[in-house]
Structure 1
Amino acid sequence: MTSSGPVLTDDQIERFVTDGFVHLTEAFPRELADECRAHLWRETGLDPQDPSGWTRPVIRLGGYAEPPFRRAATTERLRGAFDQLVGAGRWHPPVGLGTFPVRFPHPEDPGDAGWHMDASFTPPGEQGYWLNLRSQGRALLMLFLFSDIGPDDAPTRIKVGSHLDLPPLLAPHGEPGVEMFRFCTELDERGVLDSPDRPVAPATGRAGDVYLCHPFLIHAAQPHRGTVPRFLAQPPLLPTGPLELERPDGAYSPVERAVRLGLDRT
């Protein structure tokens, strides 16, 4: 499935390569976000008008692939951006939006707010989630906003440009890759995960916005200090194959270009 034309400007694409993400406003209709959010509220079993019932900092709701969620994930605007960042014919149309970590205003630490990158596959005979230099199993990390998210509403924290730090550290692990927690430990020991050299950007926006992120981008959750619960999904965009970092025709996607930039192959 392909789109009918470009969505992102040349400047947005170049910033994706260097910064690791692009904020796509109005990626799906706000009315659709409202419909999906109402469904998710019912799934929580909580009353959106009664904060006394919001006793936990986060509730995780498992995979959603009902028609409204599929429509939100496959708008023409999103398909166009997928083509521009990953390449036409190099991604599978999303069939749903996976789990939703619903974050509530709460004084306690949610317990899942550490810096990390998302892994994407499990090798045969292994356990856990792994990642490798060619990003097997993940073309993009995506943040779908199903509620308005301001600075106090637990926006995902993004380490700007951090995706460029990972390729030279992933390269020694070769095609087999490395288990995510082992790799996070390695990055932490090297001072990469919380590097002060990488500024932090909060993924704020309005319901219907989507952040399209490089699969190697380091990010983190944070406590909710606002008043309105935050609804967000962070599914992967699945690729048709791993990244190709040595293309004879030089037709690299922006995702591949960023990896090559991290490896100093430009």
Structure 2
Amino acid sequence: MSSSNSDNHSGHTLSEAQKSHFLEHGYIKVPSCFTRDQASSFTSDLWTRLGMSPTDKSTWTTERTNMPWHKHVSVKEFSPRAWSAICQLLAPESGSEEEGDVRITNGGNGVYRSWSDGFIVNVGRDGFDGREIEDMEEGERLRGLGGWHVDGDFFVHYLDSPEQAILVIPLWSDIKPHGGGTAIACDSIKHIAKYLHQHPSGLTPWFKPTTDPTEIRTFFQDLAADTSRIRTKSIIEATGEIGDVYLIHPLMLHSASENLLRIPRVITNPPVMLKEPFNFDREDGKYSLVEKKTLRELGVKEGEGLKGWKIEGERMPWVSARIKRQEAERQKEKERLGSDSA
């Protein structure tokens, strides 16, 4: 679909089909949320910041780069269509965009209501050039990836954690199959939710006790590899066109994938944080679509909740190696941008 034909300047009312798809699979793709011109402008200094050339593969020395951010734009202004859909997923049952909007916190300088230029770039690697793409089922190909995780490496995790209310993936480049699209495992939400429910004292971002600082993804990798829990057909690659936005349940297991095509793939992964934790014991039974999906995967009957459930640990931040690494990289990018403009 051509971005010139999209009406990204208006909100987007989720259809019943989209709501049903989210409750069944744990994600929706909202097409044409911003234009190609918007994307081009927002990514205009990307290659300078990377210290690479978009036309010279010999400069593509890093397969995947999680870039630090330098600027933010308001999602509501930049992409009302995406913002409206986000709010509706977080609003009480049958709630409006406005009812979802009031649940989302601002954070410092509105960071949780904005998208940054902290791009995640995947250019593949030399060994992929000329490589024949194997003819196998998509899920089978993706299952063996080594980066499976759930988002939120900056806080201690509970079932109701508000810090990562929804996983948002705007596409800043076209992404074809085998082109490095994020892999998601739709069957995983059930198992992630159950594990968090069983650990009300909290877990690190790597699903270890909070006394264990080890950053290793064993829990997630083992889950992704388990064909008895994760069906092959439930593992898909998030492909699409510039301006498409994936909205994914926060407990969805996902992974970076291999960019076999070596067409630069650019996405971001902006956090959305709630003012209050998710509530799985609402007196009126009016749960948001995200809450309903969590409860459904825990085997709770429609309209019912987790009576009396509460966390038993302290909500606290977590400083990961990625956060430390990106702060160091931000300083390097500032130097590159400064020398380029001189």
**Mean CA deviation greater in 28-37 or 241-250:** 28-37
In 1, Cα distance between equivalents of 2:76 and 2:278:
26
Residue 125 of structure 2 is matched in structure 1 by: 106
Tell me, which stretches of 5 or more residues in structure 2 are unaligned? 1-8, 92-99, 106-111, 129-144, 209-216, 302-342
CA distance in 2, matches of 1:39, 1:70: 19
Residue 90, structure 1, aligned to residue 103, structure 2: yes
Higher relative contact order (CA 8 A, sep 6+): 1
Mark the structure with the bigger radius of gyration. Answer: 2
CA contact (8 A) 2:185 2:254 kept: yes
Partners in 2 of 1:56 and 1:260 — Cα distance?
40
CA contact (8 A) 1:135 1:215 kept: no
Is 2:177 the counterpart of 1:177? no
Selected match of 2:152 from 119, 123, 128? 119
The answer to whether the aligner puts 1:228 opposite 2:234 as a matched pair is no
Moved more, 201-210 or 91-100: 91-100
Which of 144, 151, 170 is the aligned partner of 1:144? 170
For 2:225 and 2:118, the matched residues in 1 are separated by 26
Aligned counterpart for 1:195 among listed residues 205, 226, 242: 226
Distance 1:14 1:74 in 2: 27
Of 34, 39, 58, the residue aligned with 1:33 is: 39
1:81 is the counterpart of 2:123? no
The residue type equivalent to 2:249 in the other structure is H
Q: Deviations over 1:50-87 (max 9, x none)?
A: 22211221222102424xx4458852111210121011
Q: From the superposition, tell whether residues 31 and 167 of structure 1 become closer, same or farther in structure 2 (CA, over 3 Å).
A: same
Q: Provide the aligned length of Structure 1 versus Structure 2.
A: 250
Decide which of 62, 68, 74 is 1:62's aligned counterpart.
Answer: 68
Distance 2:34 2:164 in 1: 21
Q: Is the 8 A contact 2:194 2:298 kept in 1?
A: yes
2:243 corresponds to which residue?
208
Q: Which runs of 5+ in 1 are unaligned?
A: 123-129
Counterparts of 2:38 and 2:255, CA distance in 1: 26
Q: Check whether the contact 1:147–1:207 (CA below 8 A) recurs between aligned residues.
A: yes
Structure 2 Cα separation of the partners of residues 260 and 71 of structure 1: 28
TM-score normalised by structure 1 residue count: 0.85
Which deviates more, 213-222 or 44-53? 44-53
Distance in 2 (CA, whole Å) between partners of 1:118 and 1:73 is 25
SS of match in other structure, 1:80: helix
Q: Identity of aligned pairs, percent?
A: 28
Q: State how far apart, in whole Å, the 2-side matches of 1:147 and 1:72 are.
A: 21
Structure 1 4/143 Cα, relative in aligned 2: closer, same or farther at 3 Å?
closer
**Which deviates further from its counterpart, 55-64 or 250-259?**
55-64
Which shows bigger deviation, 112-121 or 213-222? 112-121
- Distance between the aligned counterparts of 2:77 and 2:45, measured in 1? 16
User: How well do the aligned residues superpose, as a CA RMSD in angstroms?
Assistant: 2.4
Segments ≥4 residues shifted beyond 4 Å:
3-6, 71-74
Output the CA distance in 2 between the equivalents of 1:139 and 1:73: 20
Relative to its length, the structure with more helix (as a share) is: 2
Residue identity in the other structure for 1:97: S
| TM-aligned CA distance change 1:72 to 1:136, over 3 Å | closer
8 Å CA contact retained: 1:104, 1:229: yes
- What amino acid is the match of 1:192? L
Q: 1:246: which partner in 2? A: 281
Find out whether 1:50 has 2:56 as its counterpart: yes
CA distance in structure 1 between the aligned counterparts of 2:152 and 2:77, rounded to whole angstroms: 21
Per the alignment, do residues 146 and 64 of structure 1 end up closer, same or farther by CA in structure 2, a change over 3 Å counting? farther
TM-score by length of 2: 0.67
CA contact (8 A) 2:180 2:260 kept: yes
Contact 2:154 2:205 in 1 (8 A): no
Partner of 2:27: 21
Spell out, residue by residue over 1:201-220, the C-alpha distance to the aligned partner (whole angstroms, 9 max, x if none): 11000111110010000000
In 1, Cα distance between equivalents of 2:226 and 2:29? 23
C-alpha displacement of 1:120: 5.6
Instruction: State the SS of the aligned residue for 1:259.
Output: helix
Compare 223-232 and 95-104 and name the one that shifted more. 95-104
